[in-house]
Structure formats: C-alpha cells, structure tokens
C-alpha cells in the first residue's frame, strides 16, 4: 500500500507541474489528492464512473465535496476526507 501511495504522490507532482500555468484546476490532480488521502487513512479505493469507490460501499465525488452510497446516488456534502472517513466509513 505504501508503494501505491508513493506512486500516486509522484503522479500528483507531475500533474501539478503540468497544470501549473493553466486556468483549470485539473480533475485528475483532485482525484489523485483524494485517492492518496483515502489510502493513507486505510480505505480500500477503486475507480468508479462517478468518482472513487471507497470500501465497495461509498462513492466520493471528484469535483465537489459530495458522497453517496453506491447504487443509491442521493448525494450528501462532507467537510473533508478525514471527517468523511471518521463519520461515515468507520462508523458503519
């Protein structure tokens, strides 16, 4: 898992350099940041059509700080990744 996190951090650095002078924020960079945070907090993370699938149960959106239960697609706001994990992922 540590190797995967290190590889993602390198990709994130490359992406941030690539988009440094551009006007867009880069969804790929945001996706990498969220994925790194989730992995560091001990979550299982997979790519999903709607965002990141966390522990095969929750989907974390990329563009906005929203999440939903996989298969239900009623979206809810969250403060940040650590609070989302503590409040919803570890609580269930």
pLDDT at 51 over 90: yes
Reported confidence tier of residue 11, pLDDT bands at 50, 70, 90: confident
pLDDT higher at 54 or 15: 54
Q: Report, as an integer, the average pLDDT of 54-70.
A: 94
Residue numbers of the domain that contains 82: 2-89
pLDDT higher at 73 or 43: 43
Model pLDDT, residue 21 = 62
Contacts of 73 (CB under 8 A, 6+ apart): 50
Q: Over the Cα atoms of the chain, what is R_g?
A: 13
Query: Tokens 């990329």 label which residue?
Result: 62
Contacts of 43 (CB under 8 A, 6+ apart): 54, 55, 85, 89
pTM of the full predicted structure?
0.80
Reported confidence tier of residue 81, pLDDT bands at 50, 70, 90: very high
Q: How many domains does the chain have?
A: 1
Is 65:75 a contact under the CB 8 Å cutoff? no
């Amino acid at each position: 898992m540590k190797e995967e996190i290190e590889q993602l951090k390198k990709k994130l650095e490359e992406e941030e350099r690539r988009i440094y002078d551009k006007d867009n924020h880069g969804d790929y960079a945001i996706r990498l940041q969220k994925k790194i945070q989730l992995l560091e907090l001990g979550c299982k993370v997979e790519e999903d059509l709607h965002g990141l699938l966390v522990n095969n149960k929750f989907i974390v959106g990329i563009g906005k700080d929203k999440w939903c239960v996989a298969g239900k697609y009623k979206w809810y706001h969250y403060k940040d990744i650590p609070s989302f994990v503590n409040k919803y992922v570890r609580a269930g």
